[in-house]
Chain A
Amino acid sequence: MSKRKRFWFWFCCLAVVSTALLLWAGVPLVQQYQLGVFVGVVALAILAESLLIRYPLRPEYNDRGLWFSVSTPVVIAAIIIYGWQFGVWLDAVISLAAGLLTMQLKNIHVRWVFTNAVQSVPSAGAAGLVVALVQPEPLVGLQTLGVLILGLLAYMLVNTFLVSVTMAIVEEVRVRWVFGQTMLSLPRDIALMTPISFLITAALAAYGAVGLIGVLAPYLALRQALVIAARQQELYHQTIRSLGFLVQRAHPYTGGHLQRVSQWARRVAEQLGLPPERCELVYEAALLHDLGKTVLDEQILNKPARLSPEEWQEIKKHPQLGAEILCDTPFLSPIIPWIAMHHERPDGTGYPFGLKGEQIPLEARVIAVVDAFDAMIGGESPNQHRPHRRALTLGEALTELDRGAGTQFDRQVVQTFKQVVQEWQRRRAAGAKA
């Protein structure tokens, strides 16, 4: 099934579920409650939904990131006070209305507005189910807090899952990665949203729609907090990306080498069973493993002829220089040892420290294997004519890795890497057939 077909299949499934939910819920909006409450809640929710926040993903997945908004607390509060039918309808109405309003401004395609709407209804339904299961006895009390947290959790989990599946279909990445990435911020988001949701519940219960005016200021504070959190995330990715550009500029790599190396490295790390956030760090470390070369003289790096021993000494400094560049940047500190040791060899003949076997971190061994492999198949400099080094084929390169296993490369990593390559070949062959 093509990407387009998969997307529309997924969209139609979601649309059917959402429509069924909405029909089942009936039309509770205007009949049961006063018009004032309805207008007030919808206005606040639309405001909340319109103040979109851009959550940056890794640029590799999606350059524009993920737009999200903070209407969830309003929806949960509405579910607690007015029941799940109201919540489901509210969520459908506001995500459609706010989406259509902000569509032009944020340059979003109308297809995403509808996708967002059909994703939000099952999420609200899940939250409603949870709240209905543990209906709090006094409507506003300390127990409400617990119910709120459960409701928020249900909503966020279902919504994150649905969004992840959509992202995975559109961007052709694995569901697990996107889900894992967005899950990392879940505890913080719930901690930020719970007080607001509680306040809205209390205001609605005590004063009706008028109480919502008092909620506006805290709402903006919440949005500010989320914006800053998103910016911090963006800063992290931007720093890595800019450093990556500098590495690319310093050394005549063609664009693909670093990206390919990092993707292989992450796949190997996953195959080795490292936890997801560790795999992401391996990706970043592989992207920046030659950071130290930005410090060296371009004339030595770009020299077409063989290097003299002094120049070779100079080149051999680059792992340590790379580590030194990052030593004042605590948020990148986990990858420093991997960068410093990516030229170590298990038999102890590598540089700069001459470590052996298990003394070298696993991640550094992974980067060493993957980097060597991509250089062997000619990915490092395909446009450069090298008389003394001819590009090998895939099979030859794997045999070469096998020969170096135990001395130049780590045996376990080479084994895993071969599995990854075989799986990739199989998938590529299947793709070529289809």
Chain B
Amino acid sequence: MEGAWWAVLTAIGSMLALAYYAFVAAPARLHRWRCEGLRAFARLIELRTQGRYGRSEPLAELANAVALRMGLPLHERRRLELAVYLRDIGMVAIPYGILNKPTALTPAERALLNRHAEISASIAEQIPGLWRVAPIVRLHHVVYSENPDAPLSAHILSALDDWLRVAENADVDTAASVLKQGIGARYHPMVVQAILSELRQRSLDGWRYLTRSAALWL
């Protein structure tokens, strides 16, 4: 009967390994692959617009942290991360001349540019694994006072997108004040709260690491 015990233990162990692989490791790897594949498209937009649109590396990580802070479940956070990469893909359908116009855009051109969210969403809807991301992508420039019932992920993306643009053009403090001024009007109040506290936490963490490493050297 010794053989039987070994058999049972081996069977249980391999079952656990299989369950871990099927429900934890493999989905995580699939998500990472998805992000990596979409990063190519985001990078394409970024190169095409000289870095004005489609920036996603700093945003993906920050969006994930903010969503975690707001208590979104894992699958919502994954969708949000995919939406970060997908949001500006629609720019491929917009002429190069409009994307890179050195002077101010006319209202008609502005309207054309603003269609990119809709185009990105319809691209996402075509792809079997990504249709659930499409609502977030469609509303990624959502205005809180106009549509407070939009998904929370869309509100996060909208606020973070504007924050990143201001932070890269001016500086982080200006970007934070833009978010604060837009509370309740343009941005979701809870989302702004979460973003600001995440950023404050990060600056504190930065200091902590600095002092810690300085202490090591002393």
In the bound complex, residues from chain A placing their C-beta under 8 Å from that of B102 are none
Q: Is the CB of A246 within 8 A of B18?
A: no
Interface check A387, CB cutoff 8 A: no
Q: Chain B contacts of A140 at CB under 8 A?
A: 3-4, 7
Interface check B209, CB cutoff 8 A:
no
What count of chain A residues pass the 8 Å CB interface test?
49
Contact at B3–A224, with CB atoms within 8 Å?
no
Which single residue of chain A is at the shortest CB-CB distance from B8?
A202
Q: Does B40 lie within 8 Å of A326, measured CB to CB?
A: yes
Chain B's interface size range is 35 or more
Is B15 interfacial (CB 8 A cutoff)?
yes
Are B18 and A138 interface neighbours, CB within 8 A? Answer: no
What residues of B have a CB within 8 angstroms of the CB of A229 in the complex? 26
Contact with B along A138-159 (1 / 0, CB 8 A): 1011101100000000000000
Beta-carbon contacts under 8 Å, B159-178 to A? none
Main secondary structure of the interface of A (DSSP, over half): helix
Tell me whether A207 is interfacial, beta carbon within 8 Å.
no
Q: Is B11 an interface residue (CB 8 A)?
A: yes
Which residues of A in the span 276-306 have a Cβ within 8 Å of any Cβ on B? 291, 294-299
Residue of A nearest to B13 (CB): A195
Q: Which residues of chain A come closer than 8 Å to B29, judged between CB atoms? A: 232
Question: Which residues, 6 to 64 on B, are CB-close (under 8 Å) to A?
Answer: 6-8, 10-11, 14-15, 17-19, 21-23, 26-27, 29-30, 33-34, 36-37, 39-41, 43-44, 47-48, 57
Question: Which of chain A's residues have a CB closer than 8 A to the CB of B97?
Answer: 297, 299
B129 CB within 8 Å of chain A: yes
For residue A170, CB closer than 8 A to chain B, the reply is no
Whether B7 pairs with A198 at a CB distance below 8 angstroms is: yes
- CB–CB B18/A195 < 8 A: yes
A218 and B21 CA atoms in complex are apart in Å by 12
Q: Are B10 and A325 closer than 8 Å at their CB atoms?
A: no
A192, B30: Cα distance in complex, Å: 17
Q: Does B95 contact A (CB under 8 A)?
A: yes
Is A328 a contact partner of B33 (Cβ separation < 8 A)? no
Which B residues from 99 to 126 make CB contacts under 8 A with A? 100
Known: A142-B3, A225-B26. 8 other contacts (CB 8 A): A195-B11, A195-B18, A199-B15, A221-B18, A221-B19, A234-B129, A246-B41, A299-B97
27 A-B pairs in the complex with CB atoms less than 8 angstroms apart: A140-B7, A141-B3, A141-B6, A142-B3, A195-B14, A196-B18, A199-B11, A202-B7, A221-B15, A221-B19, A222-B18, A224-B26, A225-B22, A228-B26, A228-B27, A229-B26, A231-B30, A235-B37, A242-B41, A246-B44, A297-B97, A325-B40, A325-B44, A326-B40, A328-B39, A328-B40, A332-B40
Q: Which residues of B contact A (CB under 8 A)?
A: 3-4, 6-8, 10-11, 14-15, 17-19, 21-23, 26-27, 29-30, 33-34, 36-37, 39-41, 43-44, 47-48, 57, 92, 95-97, 100, 127-129
> 4 smallest A-B Cβ distances: which pairs?
A195-B14, A225-B22, A239-B37, A141-B3
